[in-house]
Amino acid sequence: MLFLYPVTMFDRHTLETIFKEHHAQCLVFAVHYTGNEHDAEEVIQQVFLRLWEKRATIEISGVVRSYLFAAIRNTAISNWRKETVRREKENVAGTFRMADPVVQSPVWELERSYLQALAVLPERCREVFILSRQEQLKYSEIAEVMNISVKTVENQMGKALKIMHKELHEYTNSMQLL
């Protein structure tokens, strides 16, 4: 169910409420795509500023968080593309990937293995897996954020689970993970 937000209804109070309600979650989410808090905060500022500027016509589905996460993802990727073009001109191109999750485990070897296993996953597969296991998003939310079908999320999670299980086989058999 989509609806329009007339200018007169979307006031500063509404923006402030939404910002303060979701800022902390948005920051954690944005760091996955930017790799650091500073750039993540910049992305959040861009997203909310655009939300304010487009308030007359912007369409938001029921759950605000999903809308914000999708906007943050798109903005972060767009920023990265612009940065890549700039760097290519300077011959310093790189490849985009989500920032690795920081796993704070007392078992160093296990932590290293977990990150290595994540690195083995194909890019989209890893993104889906991290959004599910670190951000704790539901399949429907991941689908909305990444603009893919729920069925694709299911398939990517199955693929990720199979690879991760294979990579972490010796640990899952011997001890409680994380």
Partner 1 sequence: MLYSDEALHALLCKYVLSEAGEEERLWVEEWLQSNPEHPQLLCSLEKVLAEIPRREHTPNTELAWQRLSAKIPGQRKFKMWWMAAATLLLIAGGWWTMVREGRTQIFTGPLLAQLDDGSSIKLDSGTQLQVLPGFGKRQRLVKLKGKAVFNVTHGAVHPFIVRLGDQEVKVLGTQFMIDYRDHLRVHVNSGRVMVINGKDSVLLSTGMLLESVKGVFNTAAHVINADKKELVFSDTPLREVLQTIGVVYDKKITADSVLLQLPVTATFTGESAENVLAAIAYMTNTIVVQYSTGTVLRSMKNKI
d(CA 93, CA 73): 21
Name 4's bridge partners: 59
d(CA 15, CA 49): 10
What track of x and - describes contact with partner 1 for positions 15 through 54 (by CB under 8 A)? xxxxxxxxxx--xx--x-----x---x--xx--xx--x--
d(CA 73, CA 98): 10
d(CA 58, CA 29): 22
The footprint of partner 1 on residues 55-94 (CB under 8 A) is 60, 62-65
Check if the beta carbon of residue 81 is closer than 8 Å to that of residue 93.
Answer: no
Interacting span for partner 1 (CB under 8 A) from 70-78, 83-91, 119-127, 158-166: 158-166
Site of interaction with partner 1 (CB under 8 A)? 1, 3, 5, 8-24, 27-28, 31, 37, 41, 44-45, 48-49, 52, 60, 62-65, 101-105, 114, 130, 132-134, 136, 138-139, 151, 154-155, 157-159, 161-162, 164-165, 168, 171-173, 176-178
